[in-house]
A and B are shown apart, each in its own frame.
Chain A
Amino acid sequence: MIAVVDYQAGNLASAMKAITAVADDAVVTGDPDVVCRADRIILPGVGHFAATRRLDETGLTPAIKLAIARGTPFLGICVGMQWLLEGSEEAPEQPGLGHFPGRCRRFPSGGDTQFPLESAKVPHVGWNAITTRSEPTRLLAGIGEPAMVYFTHSYFVPAYGTPIPGPGAEGLYDPTAATCRYIETFAAALEHEHVMGVQFHPEMSGAAGLTVLRNFVSWRC
């Protein structure tokens, strides 16, 4: 069973429509027990980082933490991916899960660039090309290169660029699975072991998006 986590933030119907197109065992739930028992977890997210406080208030944060520790595959979408970090400039008082180090930042307001056709508006809205890392990524396998996917966000996960120390005895690693260039280079996708996130919206990214969701729902540890 795939638990699609409902934390009363925004529109789940659109994401569910895409998930049910590739899987027949997805359920929308806000129940920590159901999340704990799930074979995989998807945390969608549209809206404000502060809305993730509901995860803390309803006991979902410890449930997700426990599930991840036990090896349950996890996919965060948009704010759901940003939540994997320690926090965000969007709501400095609200901690994230802290599974990956660092904080989300806001795009600097750019206005016009020197090139008339290169937008620097904030938010970043629309289809943009992503560059997949050279090491294998199971989440992004088969999406095509260069793939174009649909973004809508003002805050971003900075691309790590250099490997970071892993938890415990693990060596250095870089969770950046794909980057995108818009004003800055940011992480379009994260993947390390069974914990993944996408800044773009697979449910609105056409065939490439459905491939990402299919890769996740067929994930075997």
Chain B
Amino acid sequence: MLARRIIACLDVDAGRVVKGVQFADLVDAGDPAALAARHADAGADEIVLLDITATHEGRGTLLDTVRRTAAKLFIPFTVGGGIRSGDETTAVFDAGADKVSINSAALADPSLIEQIGRRFGAQAVIVAIDARRGSGRPEQAEVYVHGGRRLAGRKALEWAREAEARGAGEILLTSMDADGTRAGFDCELTAAVSHAVQIPVIASGGAGTAQHFAEVFTRGHADAALAASIFHFGVSDARALKQQLDRDGVPVRLPC
């Protein structure tokens, strides 16, 4: 059976991991390449590297970081954050990434999805959607851009459908309501988006316990779930998380 995926996310600023999963015994806990390799060993199914660097100098560092991280990584590797053009995308793929994640740039120019899809295949394009619904229904969830600071003027479900129609390979859905709460994923929103599209939906935001992952895979119909800070709180790594999910009957790829 197709396994539900656990994706480890690294937030990187100017070449250093600033948030996300830490391993106490790593000499250099800020090195993206070392951390990515460690997550892969611990059974993460994919790695996402999110570049949060705002400066131009930092963007140059990104390609070097991607190259070093990709070199020893043999599981799917996604790079996101601030990618605005087809040329930038090409550079990231040349550095060894398998997929790119685009967000604000796709909303500003939705044809970017098609451009990347035509050149590298739909499987290589993840459209990231940051959504907030407050106490509203999932259909009312609004899309935000620029790190959640600005309304995009789009409904999340409608934008997810358009992204799919334009050739996105996957949707990375972050619930801004749930993000940072560690109270669980927004299963209702995730299920609504998952049913609105045929492509896989990666749930993000709100993970606190292994039970939250089981819920987003069952009630939330998520195809994958992104984990960052959960590994700080109780669950040591992807291996422990997957063993628990396996006991709960969720199909996962168990590490050797």
Contacts and interface: CB of A to CB of B under 8 A. Distances in A.
Interface of A: 9-11, 13-14, 17-18, 21, 46-48, 109, 111, 116-119, 121-129, 144, 148, 150, 152-153, 181-182, 203-207, 209-210
A126 B124 contact: no
A62 B119 CA distance: 25
29 contacts: A10-B121, A11-B98, A11-B121, A13-B93, A13-B94, A13-B95, A14-B96, A17-B96, A46-B121, A46-B123, A109-B198, A116-B218, A116-B221, A117-B217, A119-B223, A121-B223, A126-B3, A126-B4, A127-B2, A127-B45, A128-B2, A128-B3, A129-B1, A150-B75, A150-B76, A182-B2, A203-B74, A206-B75, A210-B74
B71 A127 contact: no
A10 to B, nearest CB: 5
Contacts of B198: 109, 111, 121-122
A62 to B, nearest CB: 26
Given A47-B121, A152-B123, A125 B74 contact: no
A6 to B, nearest CB: 13
B205 interface: no
A10 B200 CA distance: 21
Interface in B205-256: 217-218, 221, 223-224, 249-251, 253, 256
Dominant secondary structure of chain B at its interface with chain A: loop
A109 B197 CA distance: 11
Given A122-B198, A148-B253, 12 more contacts: A10-B121, A17-B71, A117-B4, A117-B217, A117-B250, A117-B251, A125-B169, A126-B4, A126-B45, A126-B200, A129-B1, A150-B76
B97 interface: yes
A204 B218 contact: no
Nearest to A210: B74
Interface residues of B, number: 40
Nearest to B40: A206
Contacts of B218: 116-117
A123 B170 CA distance: 10
B2 A119 contact: yes
Given A116-B218, A126-B3, A152-B169, A206 B121 contact: no
A16 B230 CA distance: 33
A204 B123 contact: no
Interface centre among B96, B224, B250 (most CB of A within 10 A): B96
B59 interface: no
A17 B70 contact: yes
Closest 8 CB pairs of A and B: A47-B121, A152-B123, A46-B121, A127-B253, A11-B93, A127-B3, A148-B253, A204-B76
Contacts of A129: 1
Interface in B5-39: 5
Contacts of A18: 74
Given A13-B94, A150-B76, A206-B75, A121 B5 contact: no
B169 A123 contact: yes
A117 B76 contact: no
Contact of A125 (B200, B217, B249, B251): B200
Nearest to B170: A125
A216 to B, nearest CB: 15
Given A125-B169, A126-B223, A209 B94 contact: no
Contacts of A10: 119-121, 124
Contact of B5 (A9, A11, A14, A127): A127
Contacts of B256: 144, 207
